[in-house]
Amino acid sequence: MQYGVAYYPEHKTEEELRHDLKLIKESGINTVRMGEFAWCRMEPREGVYDFDWLEDVVNELGEAGISSILCTPTACPLSWMIQKHPDILYVDNRGEKRPFGGRRFYCYNNPAYREYSAKIAEEMGKRFGKNPYVSGFQIDNEPAQEASGRCCCPTCAGLFRSYLKKKYKTIEEYNRRSGTIFWGQDYGDFEEINPPVNTIEPSAISRVPAYFENPTLRLEFERFSSDAQIEYQNIQADILHKYTKAPVTTNGTGLATNSIDYYKSTKNLDVYAFDYYPGLRDRTVDSFPYAFARGIKDGKPFWVLEFMSGGGHKFGGNGRVQPNPGALKQAVVHSFAHGADMMLHFQFRTFPFGAEQLNYAIVDMDGVPRRRYYEMKETAALLKKLAPYGQAAFSNRAAVLVDYDTHWALRIKPVNDPAFKYLDYAGKLYQFLENAGYNADVRGFDADLSGYRLVILPTAFVLTRAMQEKLRAFVKNGGVLLATFLTSVKNEDNVGYTDTLPAGLTDVFGVTVEEVEPVFAGDNPTPVRLKTSAGNLETIDSLWCDLLKGEAEAIGEYTGDYKKGQTIVSRRAYGEGQAYYLGTNLEPEAMTCLLGDLAREAGLEKNPVIWKEKVETVHRKLNGEDYYFVFNFTGRDTAVGLARPLKDVLTGEVFERETPIERAGFRLLTAAV
């Protein structure tokens, strides 16, 4: 595993640089990431390039056995560039043009900026593409972060119109498919269409508090903007690929923070990479983003290019708590267990200046190594011992499916906002299955489902006819499918189906949706009786209600209010498989029991480590042997039950019925014999 830190040599005096490089070399890490904000040093004047200062650091670290990830610096346009080309500046949904300063204030569609970006990428490729100490390249930095991914400048508006014309051919076809007749919004020409006023970007501000725009227009602008970001990224990726065989990527943020479709954006990249900042003080590190990352490129290892280090101030000054002793080490091994091939802390030494001054780092502003530094050193040594197990394969036969069109559509026109968030709900289903003792992959709608026995489909709000057929074939061929409320409500145009819901799949599930309504927090919930292998469970509904009717078996029925006796969870045999429809969200115990029953019906292998709250097990296979990484996130020493004897790979200890795990610790277990 490549393990290390982000570092900024352009900030340092010669004395500081000598001090820091000595500490970095003594730490045992093997990777440093540099350059993402250093364009003003790389090209101080137009066409005048200076990489000597960076190359000196790359070579010095390389000679000490530490490789470099180099970043193209295009997240921060240069002052001279903006003075010459003010049209490069980003225009937000309010029509506000962002001035020079801060970061990410450029239009990714601007021809001049694309040309400058291509030139700096070319110069970096020429200079570093064959450097033996460079192990990878990062393009830009956190594309579309901080509400910079939906530019509405004249260039972008024109390109958006061209995008619509290319897709719909005629304005009449666009009007028909998008339902512009509603509120009399028919257009006479594509030139009359403007980007939407509203936006779903985090941190963005709406110009008009209540302005209900056409949902098709808004979804198309999300797609167009995502595609434009990808096109801009690929200009640099194609150039770098000419000069290097090292992996080329960029760093995403979360699953959808920046509203770029990662399933599309990584097709021309060598590895999927993202930044992740979980809390490390008595907190469980959510592994759903790791499962998502692993599924982006069909199970290929992923990179974490920025990861929490702990301590320090945040932008707003509210501070960041320190990680528990051992939590940095645990978190790095946790990412390794889930398939990370790289983990880099942000950052090595606290900034004394700039927007991120006093922010978290491995070493404090004074450069004195303390607890976090020494724990990083211990982690680097531990990773060498764990290296052979990085080759272990994942053999999950369950998958949770997620989709960007659905995410965007549910942000554009939310249901039960803010209680229901699509990706959060998908993560909860992933977690409930894990609580039942089964690991899952997270995949997109384009994934090959033939290797899976159980597929979980959370709130597939936008579902094409082709995807309906794909799911039908999965069940018919012997798969177990669980779909939840609000499945197949809209088509790819973000227009509601006029079929009976779930549209195109009523024969598969054997039910129709008779009534729908949100279940609001604070209202009296309606009781539900759920049939499970352990007997009937009494639970309650939440979030939403798809009231069901049909020939399918009712395994969940309402027991109160006017809904008494009506179906809310159904099961139906279809072909060789089983199709379940979950019309509401249930309490955690009921959800865990339900998913455990489905996993057993699908013939999945249950982990022998008995689930305990805030303890996670990750199952992998190597040379025919099973290995189980077990992580204690409880915030205290604990013990975990075992279904059969297992041995600790690192210590050789054999545990018969339970294994102790220290606070912020982990075990790597395998068969005892």
Q: Which residues are catalytic?
A: 142, 306
Is 71 labeled as ligand-binding? Answer: no
Q: Is 636 left (phi over 0), alpha (psi -120 to 50) or beta?
A: beta
**155 three-state secondary structure:** helix
| Helical H segments across 338-370, by residue range | none
Find all residues with CB under 8 Å of 338, minimum gap 6, and list them.
Answer: 287, 290, 291, 293, 294, 618
Is 103 labeled as ligand-binding? Answer: yes
Cβ atoms of 103 and 76 within 8 Å: the answer is yes
Is 76 labeled as ligand-binding? Answer: no
Residue 150: C-alpha distances to residues 3, 18, 97, 219, 226 (Å): 34, 42, 12, 12, 8
Residue 501: C-alpha distances to residues 288, 417, 426, 488, 491 (Å): 29, 22, 21, 7, 12
How is residue 109 written in tokens?
A: 């569609």
Is 156 labeled as ligand-binding? Answer: yes
Distance between CA atoms of residues 648 and 639, nearest Å: 14
Q: For 481, phi and psi rounded to 5 degrees?
A: -120, 130
Distance between CA atoms of residues 290 and 274, nearest Å: 10
Distance between CA atoms of residues 564 and 579, nearest Å: 23
In this structure, the number of other CB atoms found within 10 A of the CB of residue 160 comes to 24
Going by DSSP bridges, is the β-strand pair 2-6/340-345 parallel, antiparallel, or unpaired? parallel
Q: Which of 284, 278, 380 is nearest to 631 (CA)?
A: 284
Cβ atoms of 423 and 459 within 8 Å: the answer is no
Cβ atoms of 399 and 457 within 8 Å: the answer is no
Distance between CA atoms of residues 611 and 172, nearest Å: 57
How is residue 116 written in tokens?
A: 């400058």
Place of tokens 């972060």: 145
Cβ atoms of 541 and 586 within 8 Å: the answer is yes
Distance between CA atoms of residues 72 and 137, nearest Å: 8
The residue type of 278 is P
In this structure, the number of other CB atoms found within 10 A of the CB of residue 650 comes to 13
| Helical H segments across 191-214, by residue range | none
Is 593 labeled as ligand-binding? Answer: no
DSSP-assigned letter for residue 474: H
How is residue 83 written in tokens?
A: 């003075």
What is the secondary structure of 222-255 as a DSSP string? Answer: HHHHHHHHHHHHHHHHHHHHHH--S-EEEEEETT
Q: For 404, phi and psi rounded to 5 degrees?
A: -70, -35
Find all residues with CB under 8 Å of 127, minimum gap 6, and list them.
Answer: 49, 51, 55
The residue type of 365 is M
What is the secondary structure of 75-124 as a DSSP string? Answer: TS--HHHHHH-GGGB-B-TTSPBPPSSSS--B-TT-HHHHHHHHHHHHHH
Chain-centroid distance of CA 349 in Å reads 27
Feature table: binding site for substrate = 103, 141
Feature table: binding site = 103, 107, 141, 151, 153, 156
Feature table: binding site for Zn(2+) = 107, 151, 153, 156
